[in-house]
Structure 1
C-alpha cells in the first residue's frame, strides 16, 4: 500500500503536511488549514515544539529526541517526523536493509540509502555517533474522537466557471478543430491520387488540379490556425485577468493574521503561476486535443491503407506514450522544488531591498549576498537536473519514433515491391509520418 502523500502548498507548510500524512496513515483526515492553526505557523515556519504540541492536540502521543540511525531503524515506531537538512520536515515511513523510504512534502515519495539519509538528517554527534532530531508519534484514542476536517475540493470545475462567458468562442475553436482534422484526412488521399492516377495516366491536368486542391486546403488550414490564435488570445487574456483578479479579491478579504504566516515570494509566485494555468487551459489543452484527434484520423487512414502498418503505428505510439509518461513524476517533483526555490529567491530579494537599512546597520551585506547566491546555486542545480531529465526523455522518445518511422518505411516499400500497395499509397504513408513528427 502506498503511503498517503501530501504535497505542501507553501514554503513553510512542511510541518502541517507531515502531520496530515501521518494522520492519514492512521485513517484520519485533517485539512492543512486546520493543522496550520494548531502548529502556530509563522513566516519562519513551524518549530519542533509547535509540531509536537499540534500532534498532541489532535490525539497523538509524541516524543522528541536526538538519536542515532540504529535507534531510528530498530526502536522507533514508524511513521515518524525527522528534521531534514536543518530547515525542513519529512516523514520516515519505512526502513529496510539499509534503505530509507521518506515522504517529503516538497519532493514526493523518495527512497534513500542509509548514507544519503544520514547526510541530510544527522547533523549532530552524541557519544561519538551521528544523531538527528526525530518526533515519534503514536496514536491514542483521542485521535479517533476528533472530527475529520477534510480539505475543500477545488479542481477544474472552479476554473471552468471562468470560461462560461466564452462558450461561443469555444464552439468556434471546436469547429476549427473539426475543419483542420478534415483537411488532414483529405490530404493523404490527394497525395496518393497524384501518383496513382496523375502520373500513371500521364494526366498533367489532373496533377495540376490535385496540386491546386492541396494548396487550397493548406491555405484553409493556415486560415483556421490564424483565427484560432486570435480567439485564444482573446479568451486567454480575459480569463487570466479574471483569475488573478479573483485571487486578489479573495486575498484582500483575508485577515491580517494570514499574511503573518506567508512569505511574500509564495504569494507572488502563485500570481505568476496563474499564467501557467492560463497557458495550459487555452493553449496546451487545445494542442493536446488537436494532437489526439490527428492521431485518431491518421490512424484510421493507415488502417485503410494497410493493417500491418497501422499495428506498427499503434504499437510505436503506445511505446512512445509509455516512455514519456515514465518521466512525468520526476519532472513534477523537480517542478515542485523549483517552485519552492523560486519563491524563496523572490522573498530573499524583497527582504534585501526592503531591509537595506537594517542590513547596513548590522553589516550583514556579505551574509545576505551569500544566502542569495546559495539559493541561485540550488536553482541552477535544479535546472541542470531538469535539463538532463528532459534530454533523456526526448532522446528515448525520438529513438522510439524514428525506429517506428523506419520500420513503417521498410514495410510499405516491401508492400509496393510485392504489389500489395501502390507507390501513391506509400507516399501518402510518408506524408502521414511527416505530419506526426511536426
Structure 2
C-alpha cells in the first residue's frame, strides 16, 4: 500500500500551509508551518489560491492552477501526477493523492487520510480548482529542511531541575514496587493465616502491611508534592517566555491570527506539562510495576505470565487498531464544532448587521443544516469511541476469564496455591493498567508533539527588535524630512502595492496623504513606523535610515494613530498612561482638552477612572478616536501620523480638534491621512499616491492649480 503523508494543521487558517507541507514532505522536504504561513500570505481568513501558488513557487515548485470540470474528472485522474492541492468545500484546502480501487485518497490537514467515493469527492471539490505542483529539478532540492525539534526548547528548561526530575523518576520506581504489596498480602493471608494450621500470625502480617502501606503513602505524598512543583515551575517558565515573545513579535504575526491563538498556546503549555509529568512520574511507575508483576507471575508459573501478557497486549492491540478511526472521528467532530462555534460567534458579534438587513430568515436554514452536520459528526465520533470501549471490555472480560480458568486448572494440579490463585487476578489487573497507560501515552503523544512543535515555532519566530540592543538612541528633529528611495511593498499572495516609490516630504509642518482607497496610504504609515518590514528600498528620517533607530526609540518619536482606536480593559487614565507612564492628571487633562475629549469624560460618573471595556462599548466611535488622539498628544512626538483618526467625528468637532492639534504641534511634522476636504485643506503639503507611485508631491497651493481631476479630493 502506498505511503500517504499527513500533517495536522495548527489552526483553522493553516489548511493551505499544512497542505503545502504535505506535498513538500511527499517529495522529501520538511518545512515548518510558521514558515509556510509567511511565504503563502496566510491571514486570519486563510490563504488565497494566488498566495498559495506564489508561495509554492518561492519554495522551488513549478505550480499551475487548473479548473477541472466534472466531465473531465476521469481524464484528469488518469493523467495527473499526484499529489495535488484542491479547494475543498469553499473554505478549505486538502491534498488529493489519486485513486485506489474505487476510492479516492485525500490527505485532509484537519482530519487525516480519508477514503472518499467519487460522489463525495466531486461534491466537496469546490469549483474544481486545483493547484498542480511538481518540484523543480534544482531549486526545490536546494531548499534546506527546516530543523524540527519540538522538544528542544522544552527540554532545555528541564536541565536546571534535573535533580527534581531524577527524584521523581526514582519515586515512580519505588511506587511501582509498592503496588505489589496488596496482592502479595492477600496471598500470604490466604496461604499462611486462613488455614487449619496457620504458619504465621495474622497480627504480624497486618503490621508488615501497615508499614509498607505507610511507606507507600509517604512516597506518594512526596511524589505528588514534587510533581506539582515541577509542573508549576515548567508552566510558569513557558508562560513567561510566551508572554515576552508575544510582546516582541511583529504586527504581521498578530494580523494573521485570531486572539484565540493565545488560549490555544496556553492550552498547549498545559498539555505539554501534563505529558512531561507522565514521562517523569506515571511512566516510571507503570513501567516498573508492569515489569515487577511479570517477574512475580513468572515465579508463580511462566505460563501464567505469558497468558496475562497476552490478555494485556490483546486489549492494547484493539486500542491501537481503532485509534486512527477514533482520531479521524474526533478531528472531524472538533472541526465541525469549531466551525459552527465561529459562525454562531459571528452571528452574535454582527447582530446589528443581521437585524438591519433582515438576514435571520435566510441565515437560519444554513445554521440548522450545519448543526445537523455537527450532530452527525458527534454521533459518529461517539459510536467509534463506544466500539473501542466495548471491544476492549469484551476482550478484557474474556481474557480475564480464560486466565482465571487457566490459573484454577494449575491450582487443581497443585502448581499454584490458593493465595497465588487470588493474587494472579489482582496482578493481571495491574499489568493491564500498566500496558494500557503506556499505549494511551504513546497514542496521545502525537498530539502533544504537535502542540510542542507549535510552541517551538512560536519561540522560533524572529522578534522585531532582535538587533536593537546594539543600536544607539537617536533623537529625531521635528523638522526632519521624510524621504523614500525605491520603496516597494506587497502583501504575500497579492499584487505589489507600492512600486518604486521615491519622494521627499518636508518636515516641520502638516502633510496631507491622499489617494483612492487601497492605494497604500495606511501601508506607507506602517512602513514609517516599522510595523511592516520594508520589502525593498530605503526610508530616511533626516539623514538617518529608519533601520538605524531602535524600535522603542522610533515608535516614541514617530507615533501612528489608526482609524480603529483600541483600549485595554482599564480606566481612561490608565489607558492614556500606556503612552506616558509618568503623566500626571493635569498632563492627561491638557491632552484631552486639545483632543476635545475632556468635556465628555467629565460627564461620566467616574470621569477619568471610567473603565473601558474590551470593545469600549460605552464610548461612541468619535469619542474613542478623540481619546486615542489625546494618548498620542501625551507622547508629544516629532512626527505624528493620523490615519483617518478623525473619520468618526462630526465636521464641527473635527475642525475644532484639528485646529487645536495643529496649533499645539506647530513646528513639528504631522502626517494627515484622510479623504475629508476639511482635513486636507489644513495641510501645507500634499502627497497623492495612485497605483503605488507618487502622482503628486508638492504644496497645497500647487495642488489646487492642477487639472480638475485632482480637485475631487478638495471638492467632492
Identify the TM-score tier after normalising by the shorter chain: 0.7 to 0.9
Which of these residues, 415, 418, 427, is aligned with residue 422 of structure 2? 427
1:173 is aligned to 2:168: yes
CA distance in 1, matches of 2:40, 2:173: 54
Q: Judge conservation of contact 2:88–2:124 (CA < 8 Å) in 1.
A: yes
Partner-residue secondary structure (3-state), 2:207: helix
Which of these residues, 91, 95, 114, is aligned with residue 91 of structure 1? 95
The structural deviation recorded for 1:238 is 2.7
CA distance in 2, matches of 1:204, 1:267: 65
Higher relative contact order (CA 8 A, sep 6+): 1
Structure 1's 86 and 349: CA in aligned 2 closer, same or farther, altered over 3 A? closer
Partner-residue secondary structure (3-state), 2:87: strand
Q: Judge conservation of contact 2:329–2:384 (CA < 8 Å) in 1.
A: no
Structure 1's 354 and 245: CA in aligned 2 closer, same or farther, altered over 3 A? farther
Gaps of 5+ in 2: 434-716
The structural deviation recorded for 1:307 is 1.1
Gaps of 5+ in 1: 125-131
Q: Judge conservation of contact 1:29–1:148 (CA < 8 Å) in 2.
A: no
Partner-residue secondary structure (3-state), 2:158: helix
Please show how residues 17-416 of structure 1 align to structure 2 within 5 Å.
17-57=18-58, 58-68=60-70, 69-121=73-125, 132-141=128-137, 143-144=139-140, 147-200=142-195, 202-203=197-198, 206-283=201-278, 286-337=281-332, 340=335, 344=339, 380-416=375-411
Q: Judge conservation of contact 2:85–2:94 (CA < 8 Å) in 1.
A: yes
Q: Judge conservation of contact 1:15–1:51 (CA < 8 Å) in 2.
A: yes
In structure 2, what is the equivalent of residue 128 of structure 1? none
Structure 1's 97 and 197: CA in aligned 2 closer, same or farther, altered over 3 A? closer
CA distance in 2, matches of 1:342, 1:240: 28
CA distance in 2, matches of 1:290, 1:320: 20
Q: Judge conservation of contact 1:59–1:142 (CA < 8 Å) in 2.
A: no
Question: How many aligned positions are there?
Answer: 429
1:76-106 deviations in whole A, cap 9, x for unaligned? 3322121111111111112143310111111
For the pair shown, the structure with the greater C-alpha radius of gyration is 2
The structural deviation recorded for 1:396 is 1.8
1:49-86 deviations in whole A, cap 9, x for unaligned? 22233334433141321322323322333221211111
Structure 1's 419 and 230: CA in aligned 2 closer, same or farther, altered over 3 A? same
1:136-194 deviations in whole A, cap 9, x for unaligned? 334444644x6314233232232223333433433332332233233234444433222
Q: Judge conservation of contact 2:84–2:130 (CA < 8 Å) in 1.
A: yes
CA distance in 2, matches of 1:294, 1:24: 40
Q: Judge conservation of contact 1:265–1:347 (CA < 8 Å) in 2.
A: no
CA distance in 1, matches of 2:431, 2:100: 47
TM-score where L is the length of structure 1? 0.85
The structural deviation recorded for 1:347 is 5.3
CA distance in 1, matches of 2:248, 2:387: 46
In structure 1, what is the equivalent of residue 692 of structure 2? none
Structure 1's 291 and 39: CA in aligned 2 closer, same or farther, altered over 3 A? same
- Most deviating of 392-401 and 340-349: 340-349
1:108-139 deviations in whole A, cap 9, x for unaligned? 22211212222222x56xxxxxxx22223344
Structure 1's 410 and 104: CA in aligned 2 closer, same or farther, altered over 3 A? same
In structure 2, what is the equivalent of residue 5 of structure 1? 6
The structural deviation recorded for 1:367 is 7.0
Q: Judge conservation of contact 1:18–1:90 (CA < 8 Å) in 2.
A: yes
In structure 2, what is the equivalent of residue 127 of structure 1? none
TM-score where L is the length of structure 2? 0.54
The structural deviation recorded for 1:397 is 1.8
The structural deviation recorded for 1:9 is 2.0
The structural deviation recorded for 1:336 is 4.3
Higher helix proportion: 1
CA distance in 2, matches of 1:167, 1:349: 47
The structural deviation recorded for 1:220 is 3.0
1:247-278 deviations in whole A, cap 9, x for unaligned? 22222211001122112334422322322222
CA distance in 2, matches of 1:91, 1:250: 33
CA distance in 2, matches of 1:392, 1:437: 19
CA distance in 1, matches of 2:305, 2:14: 50
Q: Judge conservation of contact 2:66–2:129 (CA < 8 Å) in 1.
A: yes
CA distance in 2, matches of 1:30, 1:173: 36
CA distance in 2, matches of 1:306, 1:335: 42
Q: Judge conservation of contact 1:352–1:368 (CA < 8 Å) in 2.
A: no
